[in-house]
Amino acid sequence: MSHQVVISGVGVWHPQESITNEELVNSYNAYVDAFNNENQSKIEAGEISAMPYSSAEFVEKASGIKSRYIYKKEGALDIARMKPKIEPRADDELSHQAEIAVEAAKLALASANLEGSDIDAVIVSCAYTQRAYPAIAIEVQEALNIEGFGFDMLVACSAATFGMHRAYEMLCAGNAKRVLVINPELVSPQINYTDRDSHFIFGDVSTATVLELAETAKGDHVYDVLSTKALTKFSNNIRSNFGYMTRAEDVDPYGPDKLFHQAGRKVFKEVCPLAAAHIESHLASHDITPEGVKRWWLHQANINMNTLICKRLLGREANREEAPIVLDEFANTASAGSVIAFGLNHKDLVSGDVGVLCSFGAGYSIGSLVIRKR
């Protein structure tokens, strides 16, 4: 007997502190001044290049970002530090990442009208976890008094959709009745605040969704998952090389190549057609045309990417109601972006409305869900 899997709850949590483009650029330009002055003789001798300046206007035009939330603002704008200051916690304290995961989980559970005791499995799926083991998911499971099991997944910016794919499959297989998928994107420690082309990209946030069988769903806004679809294609154009082997390689463990870096233009050129073709194929498997989609909850990496993908699918630009943009407030939040767009822009849909949740990111990795309001 087959059962219908649904998304029955969603939660979006963000830190209280934020950084505007103006604040970020002022800090970056002050760092550039100090660097160029300190290295003036080397620059004049042609040994190194002068660092370029930036502007808030450049950041917004290049990305659509105006501001971003940050878990800990202290230190991130200090030109003598250029990274957030996060206090370490003892092993017997709740970890930073588990803490923000729990906050989003509580919101998703409330949205689904459930308690922690109703959940069978926890998947923490995100771009980075702050440690290798024990799994953040098991720590969250303990904090929420959830019986069953939990595990972590890393699929860069497609981690949220891939996590929901695993939940869908577990429910279809009868291995769980309700699954909590959490995306605690604590990415600010991996940002190179001295790099003009990437220092503005990311923000911190945590999202969560509850997937269960339709027959048990009690949420106020429930969506049938018609199907899931995934694609991966290897690319070096987005990388983050920090890892446990670094200590054995006799290199700078915090060098620029160990932090997030990308070949942005190549990513734009290659991912946009790949994502559009993926979505079109997924919809076609249900005999649904792009014109039949009420809402597009796309990955929030860059406003120009979203505009182009929608234009490829619809033959025109989508308006903000059709394809919500949250980049201006949240920035790129790795895998959480499409879930934020969904969480903040779904309650107005009516029974029968179809929507697409889609992510695309490093790997390359693309994940999508076609969903329909019950």
Cβ count within 10 A of residue 109: 24
pLDDT band with cut points at 50, 70 and 90 for residue 2: low
Any idea what DSSP says for residue 318? Answer: P
**97 CB-near residues (< 8 Å, 6+ apart):** 129, 130, 136, 184, 186
Instruction: Tell me the H-state helices in 39-155.
Output: 40-44, 56-63, 96-111, 136-143
Catalytic position from the list 126, 157, 272, 310: 157
Give per-residue burial for 313-350: e unless 16+ CB within 10 Å, then b.
Answer: bbeeebeeeebbbbbbbbbbbbbbbbbbbbbebbeebe
Question: Considering the domain boundaries, does residue 131 fall inside one?
Answer: no
- For the question of residue 172 being annotated catalytic, the response is no
Contact 227, 370 (CB under 8 A): yes
- How much is the average pLDDT of 210-234? 97
Give per-residue burial for 200-226: e unless 16+ CB within 10 Å, then b.
Answer: bbbbbbbbbbbbbbeeebebebbbbbb
Residue 279, token pair as written in the block: 């979505």
Question: Considering the domain boundaries, does residue 129 fall inside one?
Answer: no
Give the number of domains in the chain.
1
Domain that includes residue 321, residue range = 223-373
Beta strands in 98-237 (DSSP E): 121-126, 149-154, 178-185, 205-213, 223-232
Residue 341, token pair as written in the block: 């767009």
Q: What is the CA radius of gyration of the chain?
A: 21
Measured distance CA(127)–CA(114) in Å, rounded: 27
Question: Considering the domain boundaries, does residue 215 fall inside one?
Answer: no
Contact 170, 179 (CB under 8 A): yes
For the stretch 276-311, pLDDT in tens is: 999 999 999 999 999 999 999 999 999 999 999 999
Measured distance CA(315)–CA(149) in Å, rounded: 45
Hunting for tokens 């497609």 — which residue is that?
Answer: 158
- CATH code for the domain of 272: 3.40.47.10
Question: Considering the domain boundaries, does residue 341 fall inside one?
Answer: yes
Measured distance CA(31)–CA(39) in Å, rounded: 12
Task: Give percent of the chain with pLDDT exceeding 90.
Answer: 97
Cβ count within 10 A of residue 164: 28
pLDDT band with cut points at 50, 70 and 90 for residue 3: confident
More confident residue, 242 or 121: 121
Question: Considering the domain boundaries, does residue 285 fall inside one?
Answer: yes
**Residue 28: closest CA among 68, 79, 70:** 79
pLDDT band with cut points at 50, 70 and 90 for residue 1: very low
Question: Considering the domain boundaries, does residue 216 fall inside one?
Answer: no
Contact 112, 217 (CB under 8 A): yes
For the stretch 137-177, pLDDT in tens is: 999 999 999 999 999 999 999 999 999 999 999 999 999 99
Question: Considering the domain boundaries, does residue 49 fall inside one?
Answer: no
Question: Considering the domain boundaries, does residue 258 fall inside one?
Answer: yes
